[in-house]
Chain A
């Protein structure tokens, strides 16, 4: 073997372009692709004309219930009933109030999205905004007509349950997840018991317990609002699930992080707040998103205890005898609203993950 010495250094060159697979090869490249392509193509050809003729060509876009004969989609129903689906049995003359709540919640949400707005003042904005929104709905102040929570319904109820159960459940979840890792045995076992107890119950039974059994057990004269009871059940339920997700993040953290913080003499709380939690939470963004999306849809279960959320308001609208109960159209409309909420959450968290908030090469 002869020796070798590099005499001139090789400059870096750009990488060759990766060969793109042609669309034809993607669709018909092998047997499996060909079969799937054909099956999907066939299904579209078979179903699309019916859908188009039902939804568009024969659809009834305006008019009375009697005009909906069943040949096409009864979009006129949604046109007549959408205020009821969105706001339930809230007094129709006062719709600006639930609209106000929706505007406040969406506004606060949009403001809170960019990480540069994640600060204490934003938290206070949420507290104040929520109080104002709820006061707007409830009335009885500043000359607003009082509207009891029994008359609240539709999208505001769904938003209230979602925002508050997750907003209050998240700090509770952090407490439970940290408590579960505590060296203090009593704290640890109480947290384990709470988390496992709640996770062992279906949400429906939890709602039943809180809505039906709790009032029976309370002393006479002490009455807790129905919406509040449902909210408490949803909050502890989401907290138990979020706590388990967070536990994954806490356990995934290298021991050295806590030790380095200890060695710098940081107090337990500073260490947890500044070092442990930011890293633990950032590690579990995908499963957190999953839990949040599930909780958004879980709010629809409150119909079982007689609350009018978006889904129950839609069902109530369908009960009008003047209309032929167009289920597909109504549920499609409601599904679209849920989809917009859930899909936005998913896209947002994908964006957050790409922001690389926590440095490179985590």
Chain B
């Protein structure tokens, strides 16, 4: 059985049908890139996987646990699913190190010293260890996003969700974040990335998922997806973003 299973998932915002019969399964270690125009439901899709959004119909299971509205179930799933946001969402009143140790200490009940060791090793891994005692406001966007990745990794998740992680960054900083993500992909992490970085998709994705109007339009290996898109909508989208 796949690690993440979405089966016939539907979601509405009021009367707006945001996700339409979405079915997707992701194996452990797989790297999925989800792309599509704004409002196509790609962010909603990955936000349903850690229950930041509730879905109305269909089933979602993560690591064999079916998502319900029960808070214990939700918290259990979230422990194994890390998330990185477009706007970083670091906690501005805590230092970089405190941002990273907060959840291990308060959720996993790990001792402070141990949590700090783990956080420092991950901050080193995203090449930002020397900034550990600063506050988020003192860091550049690219540095903040790398901290956000380390913060999520500190919970030692089985899956990482990326919701347009480079869209809020200056062009010069996009690469430093992508490099970390490529590195992470190389380590065997299961990843679902909503992104417009097609170079990244080509380089690391096992599968590219194209969404439009709340539905999955096309799904294929990057090679086949970019070389020979099948659906008209996919071709149209690719012709807009690839020059």
Q: How many residues of A contact B (CB 8 A)?
A: 25
How far does the Cβ of B117 sit from chain A's closest Cβ, in whole Å?
19
How far does the Cβ of A98 sit from chain B's closest Cβ, in whole Å?
40
How many Å lie between the Cα of A278 and that of B98 in the bound state?
A: 14
Contact, CB under 8 Å: B135 / A360:
yes
Q: Does A260 contact B (CB under 8 A)?
A: yes
Contact, CB under 8 Å: A279 / B78:
no
Contact, CB under 8 Å: B92 / A263:
no
A358-B92, A359-B93 known; A265 and B137 CB under 8 Å? no
Contact, CB under 8 Å: B93 / A264:
no
Contact, CB under 8 Å: B137 / A360:
yes
How many Å lie between the Cα of A220 and that of B68 in the bound state?
A: 53
How many Å lie between the Cα of A279 and that of B90 in the bound state?
A: 12
Which residues of the other chain, B, contact A261 by a CB distance below 8 angstroms?
A: 91
Q: Does A8 contact B (CB under 8 A)?
A: no
Contact, CB under 8 Å: B92 / A359:
yes
Looking at the complex, which one of A263, A267, A359, A362 makes contact with B52 (CB distance below 8 Å)?
A263
Binds A, one of B102-110, B178-186, B207-215, B220-228: B102-110
Which residues of the other chain, A, contact B95 by a CB distance below 8 angstroms?
A: 359
Q: Does A274 contact B (CB under 8 A)?
A: yes
Contact, CB under 8 Å: A275 / B52:
no
Q: How many residues of B contact A (CB 8 A)?
A: 29
Contact, CB under 8 Å: B89 / A265:
no
How many Å lie between the Cα of A254 and that of B83 in the bound state?
A: 17
Contact, CB under 8 Å: A265 / B103:
yes
How far does the Cβ of B208 sit from chain A's closest Cβ, in whole Å?
24
Contact, CB under 8 Å: A264 / B78:
yes
Q: Does B87 contact A (CB under 8 A)?
A: yes
Looking at the complex, which one of A256, A263, A267, A359 makes contact with B137 (CB distance below 8 Å)?
A359
Q: Does B155 contact A (CB under 8 A)?
A: yes
Closest B residue to A265 using CB positions:
B78
Closest B residue to A271 using CB positions:
B106
Q: Does A257 contact B (CB under 8 A)?
A: yes
Contact, CB under 8 Å: A260 / B78:
no
Which residues of the other chain, B, contact A358 by a CB distance below 8 angstroms?
A: 92-93, 135
How many Å lie between the Cα of A358 and that of B83 in the bound state?
A: 24
Q: Does B136 contact A (CB under 8 A)?
A: yes
Which residues of the other chain, B, contact A282 by a CB distance below 8 angstroms?
A: 93
Contact, CB under 8 Å: A260 / B138:
no
How far does the Cβ of A250 sit from chain B's closest Cβ, in whole Å?
15
How far does the Cβ of A20 sit from chain B's closest Cβ, in whole Å?
32
Q: Does B195 contact A (CB under 8 A)?
A: no
Which residues of the other chain, B, contact A264 by a CB distance below 8 angstroms?
A: 78, 102-103, 107, 151-152, 155
How many Å lie between the Cα of A361 and that of B123 in the bound state?
A: 22
Contact, CB under 8 Å: B52 / A265:
no
How far does the Cβ of B76 sit from chain A's closest Cβ, in whole Å?
8
Q: Does A145 contact B (CB under 8 A)?
A: no
Looking at the complex, which one of A259, A274, A278 makes contact with B85 (CB distance below 8 Å)?
A259
Q: Does A357 contact B (CB under 8 A)?
A: yes
Contact, CB under 8 Å: A266 / B102:
yes
Contact, CB under 8 Å: B93 / A265:
no
Closest B residue to A358 using CB positions:
B93
Contact, CB under 8 Å: B107 / A270:
yes
How many Å lie between the Cα of A274 and that of B106 in the bound state?
A: 10
Which residues of the other chain, A, contact B79 by a CB distance below 8 angstroms?
A: 265
Closest A residue to B102 using CB positions:
A274
Looking at the complex, which one of B83, B93, B138 makes contact with A263 (CB distance below 8 Å)?
B83
B58-84 toward A: CB 8 Å interface, digit per residue (1/0)?
000000000000010001001101110
How many Å lie between the Cα of A253 and that of B137 in the bound state?
A: 16
Closest A residue to B47 using CB positions:
A259
How far does the Cβ of A357 sit from chain B's closest Cβ, in whole Å?
7
Contact, CB under 8 Å: A357 / B107:
no
Contact, CB under 8 Å: A256 / B85:
yes
How many Å lie between the Cα of A137 and that of B155 in the bound state?
A: 53
Contact, CB under 8 Å: A265 / B107:
yes
Q: Does A262 contact B (CB under 8 A)?
A: yes
How many Å lie between the Cα of A148 and that of B178 in the bound state?
A: 73
A340-355 toward B: CB 8 Å interface, digit per residue (1/0)?
0000000000000000
Which residues of the other chain, B, contact A279 by a CB distance below 8 angstroms?
A: 91-93
How many Å lie between the Cα of A361 and that of B90 in the bound state?
A: 13
Which residues of the other chain, A, contact B137 by a CB distance below 8 angstroms?
A: 359-362
Q: Does B50 contact A (CB under 8 A)?
A: yes
Closest A residue to B107 using CB positions:
A265
- Chain A to chain B contacts (Cβ below 8 Å), 17 pairs: A262-B78, A263-B82, A263-B85, A264-B151, A264-B155, A265-B78, A265-B79, A265-B107, A274-B102, A278-B93, A279-B93, A358-B93, A358-B135, A359-B136, A361-B92, A361-B138, A362-B93
User: Which positions in A face B, CB cutoff 8 Å?
Assistant: 254, 256-257, 259-268, 270, 274-275, 278-279, 282, 357-362
Given contacts A256-B87, A267-B107, 6 further A-B contacts (CB under 8 A): A254-B87, A259-B89, A262-B78, A264-B103, A359-B92, A359-B138
A-B pairs with the 3 shortest C-beta distances? A359-B135, A361-B137, A358-B93
